[in-house]
Amino acid sequence: MALSGIQIYKLLPQTNCKECGFPTCLAFAMKLAAKQVELSGCPYVSDESKKQLAESAAPPIRLITLKAGTEVKAGNEVVMFRHEKTFYNKPGLFIKVKASDPDIASKVAKADAYKVNYVGMDFTIDGFAVEADGGDFVGAVKAVRGATRRPLILIANDAAQLDSALSLLANESALIYAADASNYEALADVARKHKAALTVKADSFDALADLTQKIQAKGVEDMVLDLGGKNLGEWLNRSTQARRLAIKANQRAVGYPTVFFAGQNGAEKEAVCAAQAIAKYAGFVVLDTFTPELAYALLVLRENIYTDPQKPIQVQPGIYEINSPNADSPVLVTTNFSITYFSVANEVEGSGLPAWLLVTDAEGMSVLTAWAAGKFDAERIAKAVKGFNVAEKISKKRIILPGHVAVLSGELEEELAGWEIRVGPREAVDLPVFMKQALN
């Protein structure tokens, strides 16, 4: 837990020598507490104090980075609810494959190649989990590594098998699944040797804390928790408890990100189980099933939950060219909220019809939200038309409004004398038909 200025002061030399640039040690301590200066500003801090200060500055949930050709991070979260600040590290989405599966490489390659665009961002799967199930585990890991550059989770109990598999993954940070009371010593040794993170699994927080402390004593710092539980209700409770223990009670022994297996109660329930894990604090989510439609839905949910509530995702206001418009192409007006912009731009682009898309500065709000907030009115639209020199680009002065703000047409006619104001459909899906039929 972060220390107060007074607590920090007690750890400083208290000589007020001023070398840090502050009149007193207390003044320096206050600045430290506010994170406005670095501890290195004081040359006289004892090693013991440094250690204590570093510990107190450590995040309540340890940051774990899994790394290969790409990387994925979990941990470092600071709040229970996204509105309190924001959630930072999006839970990595992993696909599980079985070592005995003869199609393992092609399955991995297919999911590995998956890419989907959501409001201008490309999303992919983050990595793969390889499960030892009696087949040739090391061979399977080799095959998977040949099919993807993404980080891996290795699911096996046998330390020797893990050791050989991890030897194939030099310079990577993989995640081992999972140490429990019976095998933690051997797995901790392997994890330390290969600089892998180690999952710790137990059915109670007491047992988890015991294990993480023992494993830490064996020199492994990077751990991930499997909290157990048998259904949505238990998972929700445990996940909430883990986050609370770390953030509110500063319980370092369980201050690690979690991994959740969404397919454990069957494929039917996988979507909701994964969705709950994404909303409720999981660090890594492992799916048994890869389908594009499920991956897409979950990646979008993850993006939504992890967007910073303080700043809506926006695009730059301006006049955008879609499908190489010319002087006869229509001008469509919209706002600069990313979701709005992309739902319109994608429709027009997909239709193959050329158009100018005039994106007004609506402070990142959707059409109706901006309209209701007075950020998308005739005056602002007229300003954008003039500011971005729209008239120079076209021969016919005509502008298309979103159907939801048809009420603006009268005022806009006044603001833009000599322009024809047309009202388009309400939803962007209907734009292509409208453009074909009504705009000739």
Partner 1 sequence: MPIEMPKDKWPGSIKKVTLGATSADGGTRTKTITLGGETTLPYLHFEAPTPNKPVIAIEIKSHKPDDWSPLLAEVWSDAMNDPAQWAKKAEETGADMIVLELTLEDTPDGAVNAVKSVLGATGLPLIVWGPGQSEKDNELLIPISDATKGERLLLGICEDKNYRTIVASAMANGHLVQARTAMDVNLAKQLNILITDMGLPADRIIMDPTTGALGYGIEYGYSVMERLRLAALQGDAMTQLPMIVTPGYEAWKTKEAKVGEGVPESWGDWKARALHWETITALALIESGADVIVLRHPESVKRVKDTIEELIAV
In the complex, the residues that contact ligand B12 under the rule CB under 6 A are 312, 332-334, 337, 339-340, 343-344, 364-369, 371-373, 400, 402-404, 424-425, 427-428, 431
Interaction between residue 209 and partner 1 (CB under 8 A): yes
Contacting ligand SF4 (CB under 6 A), which of 1, 6, 10, 19?
A: 19
Q: How far apart are CA 241 and CA 226, in angstroms?
A: 13
Q: Is 286 helix (H, G, I), strand (E, B) or coil?
A: strand
Q: Does 55 bind partner 1 (CB under 8 A)?
A: no
Q: Which residues pair with 129 in a beta bridge?
A: 96, 153
174-179 own/partner pairs: CB under 8 Å, 24+ apart: 174/66, 174/68, 175/64, 175/66, 175/151, 175/199, 175/224, 175/259, 175/284, 177/129, 177/153, 177/201, 177/226, 177/259, 178/226, 179/211, 179/215
Q: Which residues pair with 152 in a beta bridge?
A: 128
Residue 41 has which token pair? 């500003």
CB 288 within 8 A of CB 111: no
Q: Which tokens sit at 425?
A: 């459909």
Residue 88 as a binder of partner 1 (CB under 8 A): the answer is no
Element (H, E) at 118: strand 116-118
Residue whose CB is less far from ligand SF4, 12 or 66: 12
Q: Which is nearer to ligand B12, 137 or 371 (CB)?
A: 371
Give the type of residue at 134.
G
CA distances from 187 to 96, 178, 180, 221 (A): 20, 8, 9, 13
CB atoms within 10 A of CB 274: 28
Binding mask 24-63 for ligand SF4 (x = CB under 6 A): -x--x-------------x-x-------------------
Least distance between ligand B12 and beta carbon 386 (Å): 19
Which one of 10-18, 70-78, 169-177, 223-231 is the stretch in contact with ligand SF4 (CB under 6 A)? Answer: 10-18
Among 307, 363, 387, 409, binds partner 1 (CB under 8 A): 307
Site string for partner 1, 264-283 (x = CB under 8 A): ----xx-xx--xx--xx---
Q: Is 144 helix (H, G, I), strand (E, B) or coil?
A: helix
Identify which of residues 41 and 306 has a Cβ nearer to partner 1 in the complex.
306
In the complex, least distance from residue 199 CB atom to ligand SF4, rounded to whole angstroms = 42
Q: Which is nearer to ligand SF4, 41 or 312 (CB)?
A: 41
Which one of the spans 99-107, 129-137, 285-293, 387-395 is the region binding partner 1 (CB under 8 A)? 285-293
Rounded to 5 degrees, what angle do the CA atoms 186, 168, 62 make? 55
Find, among 354, 437, 368, the residue nearest to 402 by Cα: 368
How many other β-carbons are positioned within 10 Å of the β-carbon of residue 23?
10
Size of the residue set binding partner 1 (CB under 8 A): 57
Q: Is 106 in the site for ligand SF4 (CB under 6 A)?
A: no
Per rule CB under 8 A, is residue 109 in the interface with partner 1? Answer: no
Which tokens in the block code for residue 13? 């030399």
Site for partner 1 contains 305 (CB under 8 A): yes
Which of ligand B12, partner 1, ligand SF4, none is residue 318 near (CB under 5 to 8 Å by kind)?
none
Judged by beta carbon, residue 171 or residue 310, the one nearer partner 1 is 310
State both tokens at 358: 């005039």
> In angstroms, what is the minimal distance from the CB of 121 to partner 1?
12
Question: What does the binding site for partner 1 look like in residue numbers (CB under 8 A)?
Answer: 81-83, 114-118, 205-206, 209-210, 213, 231-233, 236-237, 240-241, 244-245, 248-249, 251, 253-254, 268-269, 271-272, 275-276, 279-280, 291-298, 300-301, 304-305, 307, 309, 339, 343, 350, 366, 372, 427-429
